[in-house]
Structure 1
């Protein structure tokens, strides 16, 4: 089986990381146009850095949950049986990697990496960023920003993501709002290609009508159950 899994903020909510678009989401409390656009960074980099420094500290302190661990297990089981898991996440945290997932595609980048706007160097960064820091590669001052995709910027790795989606046997979305494109269009694309679609979420997403089936509940409960089902079927082949 070739399985394409898309994860969103809901899978990390049980790890203490906030979601974005629900009633208590980050974008209900903070203005994304002031904090998450290239224009905002150009106008006030100190404010943008301060916001993401706090978010980065939260990611470093967060602990992975049962849903992350289950997907790491699923990757191993499918590989052992000649299949593959393509794990695509909208999240910028590293909880999938910490759980043991060996190949994770971050379509919105990674909060624990910094990118130089002068030389384009990208490298890991777990500490605070500020306008007084020089790039460790080229030495340019004030050139470092997060290696994440802001509003108005293209998501990363789209070609690889779409190719993997088109060859999948099953598309599953976990903890996504169904409101952010292009990811919100993946389910409809899969169905047009005759690929079965499954939603796993706390409640129906904005694009719930694009899914053939759904499982609702906390990710830490429904994702391990789903993984157990898939592993059981694979073992019977």
Structure 2
């Protein structure tokens, strides 16, 4: 089956409501390809490796979390940017990208999907006064030690988590925000949570965890953000009877 590119864009925008977010990049269609779509390839980042694989798989549409045209980047089309755009344009492949809207969606979003994977019961937003809070807070079904929780995260994500051991003996309440959201550790501590999970870690994060008395788990930017785009791709495939394949371009960060 095939459906029009515009129908997919319309459905995705209605689902993710990107107009509600103040983001660092354009959300939705970033590069226009052929009018009809029958095969979607999804991935975390629109890297050259992902685009090359999409060409091999004869994709009509590439769906990603990290696309192009970020605020503050050089506007010239040269080097890496030229080659990536050339790959899409020569092969008539569209690029559809959703950043913060895909982090924050209550069912398909990266944070909702991570909670489901880790068995976390979502309670509220990490920013309680923000209706568009990207991060979430929740609870484990039963308290566990920090070592047990670190092992659980590592097993689920297939990646050794970095643990800053600075909180209570047992963990029950948890905050989380995927990707480069280490600075939200302050909000997690303000809410009295036992632990906070994010993707990346910075040098100051270690000191913040220790001085705030909260466990911190750095589980990988790529590793924590593989699941929203898969969920969205599957939703589009089901809605329009399309083929969908997620391609995981390995990334240790």
Q: Which has the higher contact order (CA 8 A, sep 6+)?
A: 1
TM-score w.r.t. the length of structure 1 is 0.25
Q: Which has the higher strand share?
A: 2
TM-score w.r.t. the length of structure 2 is 0.24
